[in-house]
Structure 1
Amino acid sequence: MTPNLKGSLFMMGSMAAFTLNDTVVKLLAEDLPLFQIVFLRGLLTTVMLTATVAAFGKLSFRIPRGDRGKLALRTLFEIIAMVTFLTALVNMQIANATAILSALPLAVTLGALLFFREPVGWRRLSAICVGAFGVLLIVQPGAAGFNIYSLLALITVVLVAGRDLVTRSFSDGLPSMTIAVVTALAICLFGGVMSVTEEWVRPSATHFALLTLASCFIIGGYVFSILVMRVGEVAVTAPFRYTSLVFALVLGWVFFAEFPNALALTGGAIVVATGVFTLIRERQVKDG
């Protein structure tokens, strides 16, 4: 597989994992305080991820000097983005929150053009813009529907774009698994500190099962999101971020009875077509 094909698959895996995690967190938020969820999920995630990485002999905290400040900045972006998006998520339909976040392909692609001088051809940029139109069909924005939670989701777009661009600037000497472990630990500690401001609720066995499931999904999301920024061109992999909308539409329907209307379904079809076009175009470029 070409680096671009690998990056596209990593992106789809990341979107599936994050959207499944979002679904579980939204279910848990019906019974548990948000930061209690963040802390418990972060604790389980840190333990499982560290144990897995250590078992394969890949656990290392040797961070190149030039990457230390970047890692701190990436972690800060990750924490703030987590707070803004989860706050929006528990107060919005999952498809709408995810759709706003899907403005990321354009933001990240333009950022890669500005900061890394990565080439962005008219076909790739057109695919991103068409996908953005599909997003609008799903969101169907209007004055009545735009509120503070929509604004938080938009702020998340800026934060995650910054996180991804910082990730792309890391040297090859910084292992991806080290980034994932540091991220999980930082979010766990932040959640623990913030949870003291909430009244804790005793989790049931079902809650712990869901927390464990969310931890597995978030690990997959962390790892794939890091790998995708270190493999392939941003302009090729970015449109596959739109696949999160398809996952969100299906999961919102199944778990929360959030039924998409005809426009939303049309938007989802456009999103899928955008990803398929980009993948076919990449293979044509390779074969040519």
Structure 2
Amino acid sequence: MTPNARAAALMTLGMAAFACEDALLKLLSRGISIGQLLLMIGFAGMVVFGAWVARSAEGLRWRDLLHRGVLLRNLSEAICGVCFLTALSVGDLSIASAILQALPLLMTLGAALVLGEPVGWRRWSSIIVGLIGVMMIVRPGTDAFQPGSVLALVAVVALAVRDLVTRQLPARIGSGLLTASAFGSMSVAGAVLVLIGGQNMVMPNPVEAGMMAVSLGFGLLGYMTMVIATRIGEIGAIAPFRYSRLVFAIILGVLVFAERPDGWTLAGAAIIAFAGGYAMWREARLRRRPRRAPASSLTRPG
């Protein structure tokens, strides 16, 4: 297999793992509060990644956690965790997952509006088309509207802020520390929901404890395979395979939760996947262009 083929297979495996993680969290939310789930899973993830970072060459640099960019990133991660997990608990898995796929489009939009990066008419068009796809899924003011869709949208915006901030962080701050601190921020958010929101703490039964452990395992598997895939493959080649998460989520939604996505939802999801995949492919192509033709000053971004 070529490096791109291996990367595509790993990315697909990672997206399947993330979809399974979401399905398990949705099942767990039926008997355990959102706050407790975030508290327990976030704490476990922080411990696992923290131990890994401590034993790696990167090491734990506690002072980096006080960097204002890291603080903003962790706040965005906490908001995303609360909103997306709540969206899963009150709405359809397939709808929440479809809205989540708008992240690359919001990243492109944020890079243009906040970071001042040049974005040409092609990517602007993909953003507009993708947002139309989102509205086809959400459909505010109709009987098909789900309140959880708004929470999923807030979660995507929080993820976009997180990723934009990450691009501006100093190179000395490693990804392992960022991941461990992100899990920690979700744990803190869960504790706040439990204490201030009046959410009850319950003792998970053996089945629920096992589901939590498996959910965390799926999350770690998804993270590791995604990182490896982005390191060994070209972004433009593996970008479309990120949207396999949506396919797995729809299948799990139908089989596990008896969801029945209508034609508008499926069409909107397809439009988001197409627009987002094109935006990622276009950005990867533009990043390669200076290396291919460094002397050209007439090429416009697209």
Normalised by the shorter chain, which TM-score bucket? 0.7 to 0.9
- Whether contact under 8 Å (2:36, 2:191) holds in the other structure is yes
Deviation of 1:265 (Å)? 3.7
3-state SS of 1:219 partner: helix
- Whether contact under 8 Å (1:131, 1:239) holds in the other structure is no
Max Rg structure: 2
How many residues get paired? 284
Aligned to 1:73: 72
User: How far apart in 2 are the matches of 1:152 and 1:223?
Assistant: 27
- Whether contact under 8 Å (1:113, 1:119) holds in the other structure is yes
Which amino acid in 2 is paired with 1:52?
Answer: W
Which amino acid in 2 is paired with 1:74?
Answer: R
Deviation of 1:247 (Å)? 2.9
Moved more, 82-91 or 193-202: 193-202
Which amino acid in 2 is paired with 1:250?
Answer: I
3-state SS of 2:90 partner: coil
Aligned to 2:213: 212
Q: Per-residue displacement from partner, 1:42-90 (whole Å, max 9, x unpaired)?
A: 222122222333344433225559x701101111111122112222221
Aligned to 2:85: 86
Deviation of 1:91 (Å)? 0.5
User: How far apart in 2 are the matches of 1:128 and 1:238?
Assistant: 16
Q: How does 1:39-54 map to 2 (within 5 A)?
A: 39-54=39-54
3-state SS of 1:51 partner: helix
Which amino acid in 2 is paired with 1:171?
Answer: P
Moved more, 56-65 or 203-212: 56-65
3-state SS of 1:90 partner: helix
- Whether contact under 8 Å (1:109, 1:238) holds in the other structure is no
Structure 1 unaligned regions, length at least 5: none
Aligned to 2:299: none
Structure 2 unaligned regions, length at least 5: 293-302
Moved more, 271-280 or 17-26: 271-280
Name the Cα RMSD after superposition. 4.2
Deviation of 1:262 (Å)? 3.8
- Please tell me whether residue 184 in structure 1 is matched to residue 183 in structure 2: yes
Moved more, 209-218 or 126-135: 126-135
Query: TM-score normalized by structure 1?
Result: 0.77
User: How far apart in 1 are the matches of 2:69 and 2:249?
Assistant: 31
Against the structure 1 CA distance between its residues 48 and 195, is the aligned structure 2 distance closer, same or farther, given a 3 Å change threshold?
same
User: How far apart in 2 are the matches of 1:148 and 1:275?
Assistant: 24
Query: TM-score normalized by structure 2?
Result: 0.74
- Whether contact under 8 Å (1:168, 1:230) holds in the other structure is no
Q: Per-residue displacement from partner, 1:17-52 (whole Å, max 9, x unpaired)?
A: 443322111011112222121122122212222233
